[in-house]
Amino acid sequence: MIDIKLIRTNPELVKENIRKKFQDEKLDSVDKVVELDRKYRQTKMECDDLRNQRKTKSKEIGAFMSRGEKAEAEVIKAEVNEIGVKLAEKEQLESELEAQIREIMLTIPNIIDESVPIGKNDTENVEVERFGEPFVPDFEIPYHVDIMEKVHGIDLDSARKTSGNGFYYLCGDIARLQSCILSYARDFMINKGFTYYIPPFMIRSDVVTGVMSFAEMEGMMYKIEGEDLYLIGTSEHSMIGKFIDTIIPENELPKTLTSYSPCFRKEVGAHGIEERGVYRIHQFEKQEMIVVCKPEESMDWFKKLYSYTVEFFRTMDIPVRTLECCSGDLADLKVKSIDVEAWSPRQKKYFEVGSCSNLGDAQARRLGIRVKTAGGGKYFAHTLNNTVVAPPRMLIAFLENNINEDGSIRIPEVLRPYMHKDIINVK
């Protein structure tokens, strides 16, 4: 959520930002907010005036009563009661206007960084840099499920019976491999100075609307029936929510956190759910990194965060590239975003394995996350998040880049202390 002062003082800048995101249907929202805000401030002034009148009149009642002039006091009491009725009506209008403004403000996109490329959708995202040499072996690489089935590492048929499409059983060395990758990711981030967390896997609605847009929530989140609780789609939701309605001393910044969680997603949309695959699924595990920092430090942290994901994948000899999201592909809360994509030698192309986002102060405004300076001043923090690793999607890249011609799977050196073996053999 952007600062309403920006809409008051520079509505055209906000509208131009909406145009850059190709959301022209939201242009009227800016004018609506300007008008509602004018009414809100006028109503607030009227409420303040009525409160002052009531306070002054109440003092008059005390003066009359002290002199024994009860009749005069009763006249003033009637006036106070009348003011009270008017005030209640105005306060109700004030609350209604405030709620209307917030509802619209939540739909107005954040101001994107000037460096963001302008484009309508993900087809216009821009490659930034490649790391590692993409390699295609001289033998055919099987589909990732076939690789896992050959080592008895996945059972989709049983999961279809118990839970439907979009679920899986991992087993044996593949299940163990996934756990080892997550453990390595945890230690990798701890070694970068991040504090490790396991957060709640359910959050309340006020946190949900604080960390994401309504459109994202509708397409992602599972609601717990009869409860004000949602299953998280990523641990970023819990971790940013951890700071709701807090004031952080400036000398405690930055907050650098890394968190593990299962993630639950509806995956509503054009992509659908594969019947036989683990690329887009309803349930998976993930290691995330989160930063809460000063505004002037957020772009430096942005670069650090996605570089950590690149480094993580390269330690396992997986070629990757970074891809900057264009304006039309940015979620409304984001200032800037870069995806990390891994090389698929089977498909001979890159595919997304992580996303790094700078949200500016948008989440902090929604959630009330403020920073207190040494001098007592307050401002909204900046928040960032990034994927360290999200198996089993990452497993696809791992398996394709580490499979041998006989179907066995190499274990990179960094994972051997966790797996206690250097190869997974075909059974």
Average pLDDT of the chain is: 93
What residue numbers bound the domain in which 226 lies? 122-424
Q: What is the Cα–Cα distance from 284 to 261, expressed in whole angstroms?
A: 9
What is the per-residue pLDDT across 150-194, written as a single tens digit (0 to 9) for each? 999 999 999 999 998 889 999 999 999 999 999 999 999 999 999
Instruction: Tell me: do 223 and 349 sit in the same domain.
Output: yes
Quick check: is 112 in a domain? no
Mean pLDDT of 130-149: 94
Instruction: Tell me: do 254 and 360 sit in the same domain.
Output: yes
Q: What is the Cα–Cα distance from 408 to 415, expressed in whole angstroms?
A: 16
Instruction: Tell me: do 256 and 310 sit in the same domain.
Output: yes
Mean pLDDT of 136-140: 94
Instruction: Tell me: do 167 and 294 sit in the same domain.
Output: yes
Of the candidates 338, 340, 353, 343, which has an alpha carbon nearest to the alpha carbon of residue 392?
Answer: 353
Mean pLDDT of 291-317: 97
Instruction: Tell me: do 126 and 66 sit in the same domain.
Output: no
Task: Read off the CATH number of the domain in which 266 is found.
Answer: 3.30.930.10
- Give pTM, 2 decimals: 0.89
Instruction: Tell me: do 186 and 304 sit in the same domain.
Output: yes
Quick check: is 111 in a domain? no
Instruction: Tell me: do 131 and 93 sit in the same domain.
Output: no
Instruction: Tell me: do 99 and 134 sit in the same domain.
Output: no
DSSP state of 403: B
Quick check: is 313 in a domain? yes
Model confidence at 268, pLDDT cuts 50, 70, 90, reads low
Instruction: Tell me: do 98 and 247 sit in the same domain.
Output: no
Residues 6+ positions from 57 with CB-CB distance below 8 Å: 76, 79, 80, 83
Give the residue, 129 or 280, on which the prediction is more confident: 129
Task: Among 41, 73, 105, identify where a domain stops.
Answer: 105
The answer on pLDDT for 387 being more than 90 is: yes
Task: Read off the CATH number of the domain in which 8 is found.
Answer: 1.10.287.40
Q: H helices of 243-338, where?
A: 298-314
Residues 254/299, Cβ–Cβ less than 8 Å: no
The answer on pLDDT for 7 being more than 70 is: yes
Quick check: is 114 in a domain? no
Mean pLDDT of 345-361: 95
Q: What is the Cα–Cα distance from 189 to 389, expressed in whole angstroms?
A: 11
HSE, side-chain direction, 13 A CA sphere, residue 269: 14
Mean pLDDT of 127-133: 97
Quick check: is 87 in a domain? yes
Q: What is the Cα–Cα distance from 192 to 188, expressed in whole angstroms?
A: 7
Residues 151/424, Cβ–Cβ less than 8 Å: yes
Quick check: is 110 in a domain? no
Quick check: is 116 in a domain? no
Task: Among 105, 133, 148, identify where a domain stops.
Answer: 105
Domain count for the chain:
2
**Length of the chain in residues, anyone?**
427
Residues 180/383, Cβ–Cβ less than 8 Å: no
DSSP state of 254: P
Task: Among 71, 105, 139, identify where a domain stops.
Answer: 105
Give the residue, 274 or 399, on which the prediction is more confident: 399
Which amino acid type is present at position 52?
N
Beta strand 195-197 with 255-264 is parallel
Instruction: Tell me: do 87 and 170 sit in the same domain.
Output: no
- Peptide linkage before 254 cis (omega within 30 of 0): yes
Instruction: Tell me: do 133 and 42 sit in the same domain.
Output: no
Instruction: Tell me: do 194 and 66 sit in the same domain.
Output: no
